[in-house]
Amino acid sequence: MIPHHRQAIEMADLAATRAESADVKKLAGEIKKAQDPEIKTLSGWLTSWGEQVPAEGQGHGGHDMSGMMSAEEMKQLESSSGKAFDTAFLTMMVKHHEGAVAMAKTEQSDGTYQPAKDMAGAIITSQSAEIARMNTLLGKS
């Protein structure tokens, strides 16, 4: 989940200078604000368990994680701006969030560490709401 969240933050950071819609910029800021502390918590758990925290810059290497954008998709997003960026960002972030929700559901059903299961529940709730919001911005609801 750490590389997954890092990629979401990388995508959200692009919105500040590339998005046209104030709603997209606001949403991107909220995504970053929510996921950055989760990365810190997840990293802290791994460290306390003597496990390796995924290195920075592995954001594109996690293609086996559901909803991760490919390097090509990230390049497309980085090279777009205005309304085209807004549409690409929202479309990609819906896919990204759907992947996170799927991973969180797996954690809830298969996980053994209650704080992680609790975080998974919070991710399901918040990101499902953001998916609905993004679909509304895309005109899909």
Identify the structural domains of the chain with CATH numbers, from first to last. 2-57+68-137 (1.20.1260.10)
Measured from the Cβ of residue 62, the count of other Cβ atoms closer than 10 Å reads 19
Cβ(24)–Cβ(43) below 8 Å: no
Which pLDDT value is given to residue 60?
Answer: 46
Model confidence, pTM = 0.91
Residue 63 φ then ψ, to 5°: -65, -15
Which pLDDT value is given to residue 59?
Answer: 46
Which pLDDT value is given to residue 36?
Answer: 94
Which pLDDT value is given to residue 96?
Answer: 95
Tens-place pLDDT, residues 21-78? 999 999 999 999 999 999 999 999 999 999 999 987 654 444 568 899 999 999 999 9
Query: What letter does residue 47 receive in the DSSP assignment?
Result: H
Tens-place pLDDT, residues 85-112? 999 999 999 999 999 999 999 999 999 9
